[in-house]
Amino acid sequence: MEKKLNFTSQALNQINRIAVGEDRKFFRITVQGGGCSGFKYDFGFDSKANEDDIIFDKTIIDKTSLEIISGSEVDFKKEMIGESFVINNPKAITSCGCGLSFSV
């Protein structure tokens, strides 16, 4: 199975805008255990890619996390309550109300 992520133009624009400078070379997406549904997304920055990372332009994700969200769409939403990155994961069976926690 091909491991890929799709990025909306809004997400790419935001990543390119914020991933600048030595300490912010890459935007990192990680899937961690936790949250109210079992897994949660974590977004951050990194100055270098690790050996097990897959690079998508200015975004990096480790192989284990990519297994869980492969085929997903990464979007950036601006709403009245704030701005945030959102992952539309077709593998997610359930998710919590905040949209950051999910189960597969």
Burial environment of residue 81 by CB neighbours within 10 A (0 to 12, 13 to 18, 19 or more): exposed
The fraction of the chain above a pLDDT of 70, given in percent, is 83
The fraction of the chain above a pLDDT of 90, given in percent, is 44
- Model pTM greater than 0.75? yes
User: Token digits for 66?
Assistant: 């990519």
d(CA 19, CA 70): 22
Fold of the 6-103 domain: Hypothetical Protein Aq_1857; Chain: A; (2.60.300)
Q: Where are the domains of the chain?
A: 6-103
Cα 8 to chain center, whole Å? 12
pLDDT tens, residue by residue, 22-64: 677 899 999 988 766 678 889 999 999 999 999 998 999 999 9
d(CA 1, CA 46): 27
